[in-house]
Structure 1
Amino acid sequence: MKKLQLTAEKIASYGQYLHREERSPGTIEKYQRDVNAFARWLGDRDITKELAAGWKAYLLEQGYAPVTINAMLSALNGLFGFLGWDAFRVKFLKIQRSLFRDSSRELTRVEYDRLIASAKELGRERLTLLMEAICATGIRVSEVRYITVEAARQGRAEISLKGKIRAILLSSKLCRKLLKYAQKQKIASGAIFRTKSGKEISRRQIWAELKGLCKHAGVIPTKVFPHNLRHLFATIFYRACKDIVRLADVLGHSSIETTRIYLVTSGVEHQRQLERLGLVS
């Protein structure tokens, strides 16, 4: 097989390809970060099937979680596919689906309420409304830009991602709060959540502001990140309607298996369910 080198130019071209494929900025950033990590590990060596598989073994030795390793391999395999180097693709680790979520990372409704209350106490109006908008709609943090003045007026947001368009309904109460905030900030059209300079708020800033709220709210930082608000929405929505197909549509999932992951309960909840069975005298 011809010797092949992984260059910075090839990695940059991969990033441009992901952009053309309309991958979210966060996905592009993560994929390039993972590919660059592989490139640093590879050094000046030519790529071989053995070295590609060796990186997986290296990540295991370094103590990376299996889910994290598979995510990194997904980025690498995507690069290989883009370059036509399919012979180097690495097999994923086989992971048995977990029966329940890690309670140290599961955000509860009570903790969400504490976050909202703390944000209000600190006068963080934008952050309060932002958390409510994500948690009341189930949108991804990359989709916050679709919460616009026009969407609030119509009661629905049209979200375009990866070539798919889905409509998200906004409750009347949320719409009133969004429009009131927009009017106060003198935002006549377009994205509602913006920085002081008028730019759309970035996912990195949203992440940082949520983390900064943890101590005041008394919530463990490992539980507080934008995607967990989406998980909380999914859990509460499913408990209300018991319709996983409808939930998958709302979340924008192409596979119900993905939606099932969102509905995995914590070990604590599973324990309570076992106790309720009353099968031990």
Structure 2
Amino acid sequence: MDKYEQLFENYFEERELAENTRKQYLLGLKKFRNRFGKDFSKQNMMIWKNELKKEYAPKTVNIRLQPMNLFMDLINQPRNKVKLLKIQQPTSVENVITREEYDYLCQKLVEDKNEKMYWRIQFIAKTGARVSEFIRFTKNDLKNGEAVMWSKGKMRTIYIPEQLVKDSAEYFKNVDSEWLFPSPYNANNHITSRGVASSLHYLANKYNIREEAMHPHSFRHFFAVNMMKKTKDISLVSDLLGHASLATTQIYTRISKKEQQSHMNKAIDW
């Protein structure tokens, strides 16, 4: 590790940032240096930005630029930073599971007596947890009715609804692991994010549910939409999701184009 990478490492260590963030930022620095060496000039930053724009979507471009902008601060060259691309937020959401699809999925899992998948769906849909958090739920969390874990560089509390705790207690008594959702290969480890995504893909095909809506983040979005409908309190929903900004929560609470049109049709009486 050279002095430039060490600057990043020191920054990460001081702020106790997540390992994935470390890897992402170090990769961003490595890619830039593979292209320009140690020439961190504004001109090269602009060239880098333009090259990224030709190859990647705007969101990915910004992900690649953010590490280098931070690096410019660390080497006291803030003038060499470049502006991130402006990304227009979508006005609707389409790839989120609907209430009808969710109810149908739960019904089919009950009919097929697939308790393992039923409780996975219940927990990911009723807690608002990120998949990286969901896979780390423990029996102690179930007992406490909440999970306190380090996520996105900060401590976060994820509440488990009281009724969900009661309803699932009998099932989890028979799970021989400290994890609520252990790995099928080793009960000492929890299931992986990839394992969750794979199982949802399988269920989409089995029950003929839109595949684009059957992904882990869809259920977090589903939680946000339904909590907003029930509470009308965006600050509460933001806290439950662990967001640092209400602007982020607003993205999660958008509805589909079909719902937008339906609301408009009902509202217009002039």
TM-score, scaled relative to structure 2:
0.82
Q: Does 1:48 align with 2:41?
A: yes
Gaps of 5+ in 2: none
For the 8 Å contact 2:96–2:219, the answer to whether it is kept is: no
Q: Which residue of 2 aligns with 1:140?
A: 130
Q: How does 1:103-114 map to 2 (within 5 A)?
A: 103=94, 105-114=95-104
* Matched position secondary structure for 2:84: coil
Give the drift of 1:124.
Answer: 5.5
- Summarize deviations over 1:186-205 as a string: whole Å, max 9, x none: 22x4x322213121222233
Q: How does 1:9-158 map to 2 (within 5 A)?
A: 10-11=4-5, 14=8, 17-18=11-12, 21-40=15-34, 42=35, 44=37, 46-62=39-55, 64-101=56-93, 103=94, 105-116=95-106, 125-158=115-148
CA distance in structure 2 between the aligned counterparts of 1:272 and 1:204, rounded to whole angstroms: 36
Paired residues, number: 268
Give the drift of 1:118.
Answer: 5.7
- Summarize deviations over 1:77-106 as a string: whole Å, max 9, x none: 2344345443332211123443223x2x23
Q: Which residue of 2 aligns with 1:215?
A: 205
Question: What is the percent sequence identity of the aligned residues?
Answer: 28
Structure 1 residues 201 and 28: CA distance shift in structure 2, 3 A: farther
Q: Which residue of 1 aligns with 2:169?
A: 179
Give the drift of 1:139.
Answer: 1.1
Gaps of 5+ in 1: 1-6
Q: Which moved more, 1:10-19 or 1:267-276?
A: 10-19
For the 8 Å contact 2:49–2:65, the answer to whether it is kept is: yes
For the 8 Å contact 2:7–2:74, the answer to whether it is kept is: no
For the 8 Å contact 1:138–1:250, the answer to whether it is kept is: yes
Structure 1 residues 268 and 139: CA distance shift in structure 2, 3 A: same
Structure 1 residues 178 and 84: CA distance shift in structure 2, 3 A: farther
Q: Which moved more, 1:119-128 or 1:89-98?
A: 119-128
Structure 1 residues 49 and 245: CA distance shift in structure 2, 3 A: same
